[in-house]
Amino acid sequence: MSVSSHAGKFSAPRVDASGRMALIGLSLPEMQDALSIHNLPKFRAKQVWNWIYQRGLTSFEDMSNLPKDMRSLLCDYYSIERPAVVAEQKSTDGTIKWLLAMSDGQQVETVYIPEESRGTLCVSSQVGCTLTCRFCHTGTQPLVRNLGPHEILQQIMHARDVLGEWPKVNEKSASQTGRDLTNIVMMGMGEPLYNYDNVAKALKICMDEDGLCISKRRVTLSTSGVVPQIRQCGEELGVNLAISLHAPNDKLRSSIMPINNKYPLNELLDACRNYPGISENRRITFEYVMLQGVNDSDDTARELVSLLENIPCKVNIIPFNKWPGSDFECPSRNRIMAFARILEDSGLDAPIRRPRGEDILAACGQLKSESQRLKKTESP
Ligand code: SAH
Ligand code: SF4
């Protein structure tokens, strides 16, 4: 399916059950257009924009510089709500995982991962995924639909609500330092480049100085390798690029990631070499999930080294996170370290990702399936 027909077929509702339109997700000109239907001037739309994106208000009633009748008009026609929290799980290591329900009841996961020097939010782009990578639990859930720009932003705004990170009215701007949530990774459920337009729209507002004000240096988009959209992503958004690589040759990669049949490694790596802005200071991240007996041998590590020669990059080694019914096992710690050492000895940065939120099943796709399973066992 082409990317554009994909986008049309699986579009997100912008209007909630009571017929009100979501203002979140609109760019400033779009918000001005939307409000001009009710004869509201542009400066009023800018005030609303500021309240929504810079202060995180969820109620029009609290927009103190708007006339009262305008506030009630906004309440009647528009919404700025957050998704409903279906479940929240906190790990002993501080990781928080939310299962969020959108206005039509569709559910996605968002995970907050605190680290010493930063806090990263892992954001979903679709409900389910059309790709069927064999090691990924999201890949077993059929795509239900794309998330709209509002639903992508709402995940970030929800996390700011919970972490108490909106600047107070008397604080100067959204660019305050000392936040816990500093980084965004589009690495939750779904393939962001199969929902490019909505992801792009959301990220532009996320990175806008007058919006959520998160620098593009702190935003990373992860793709399984949708080659035609990679260049556009670099040119339009300038975000960091992560590629789910997981194998150093076409035969192995196609056997675990069917998308490789469509966009094989030579095309994918060409797109990486030509990624706008790529340099030693702005490297591509290759993600590499370690699968025992599949892609974890010394020979495979050496093949990976020669494949990535001359690409400014690092390799994130990810221990496989097992899920019920999966075909794979995670290699031993020693095997993973030996694999990483071969990469490091050849000059590649190859950090091994520390498992986070293990006690709350913080891997791709697991909380949602837990809740589905519970629902099934609860129903008669
Ligand atoms: N669709 C995009 C982004 C979401 S997946 C992509 O594939 O890049 C985010 C990352 O989690 C990918 O690198 C994916 O390969 C990895 N992943 C999926 N299932 C995993 C598992 N069971 N254990 C560890 N990592 C996993
Ligand atoms: Fe989809 Fe990414 Fe999972 Fe592959 S790894 S099935 S592209 S979410």
As a three-state string, the secondary structure of 145-176 is EECCHHHHHHHHHHHHHHHCCCCCCCCCCCCC
- Distance in angstroms (rounded) separating the CA atoms of residues 224 and 124: 14
| pLDDT at residue 379, as a whole number | 41
Containing 242, the helix (H) or strand (E) segment is: strand 240-244
> In this model, does residue 307 exceed pLDDT 90?
yes
151 is catalytic: no
Ligand 2 atom showing the smallest separation from residue 191 Cα = 7
- By three-state DSSP, how is residue 289 classified? strand
Mean pLDDT of 125-129: 93
Average of per-residue pLDDT values in the chain: 90
133 lines ligand 2 (CB under 6 A): yes
* Ligand 1 mean position, distance from CA 118 (Å): 21
Whose CA is closest to atom 8 on ligand 1?
Answer: 223
- Distance in angstroms (rounded) separating the CA atoms of residues 346 and 89: 40
- By three-state DSSP, how is residue 369 classified? helix
Closest CA to 95 of 308, 378, 366: 366
Domains 25-79 and 84-378 share a fold: no
Burial of residue 43, with CB atoms counted within 10 A of its CB: 0-12 exposed, 13-18 middle, 19 or more buried: exposed
| pLDDT at residue 363, as a whole number | 62
366 lines ligand 2 (CB under 6 A): no
Mean pLDDT of 17-28: 89
Could you tell me if 12 and 146 are in contact, meaning their C-beta atoms sit under 8 angstroms apart? yes
Of 361 and 312, the structure prediction assigns the larger pLDDT to 312
Whose CA is closest to atom 22 on ligand 1?
Answer: 321
Gap between the terminal Cα atoms of the chain: 38
- Provide the b/e sequence for 52-68 (b: ≥16 CB within 10 Å): bbbebbbebeebeebee
> In this model, does residue 175 exceed pLDDT 60?
no
**Domain ranges within the chain, ordered by starting residue:** 25-79, 84-378
> In this model, does residue 106 exceed pLDDT 70?
yes
| pLDDT at residue 380, as a whole number | 41
Which option is the CATH number for 25-79: 1.10.150.530, 1.10.3720.10, 3.30.565.10, 3.50.50.100? 1.10.150.530
The proportion of the chain whose per-residue pLDDT surpasses 90, expressed as a percent, equals 78
Going by DSSP bridges, is the β-strand pair 21-22/78-79 parallel, antiparallel, or unpaired? parallel
* Ligand 2 mean position, distance from CA 121 (Å): 18
* Distances 80 to 56, 148, 213, 262, 290 between C-alpha atoms, Å: 9, 14, 18, 39, 41
Question: Is 64 annotated for ligand binding?
Answer: no
CATH number given to 84-378: 3.20.20.70
| pLDDT at residue 3, as a whole number | 54
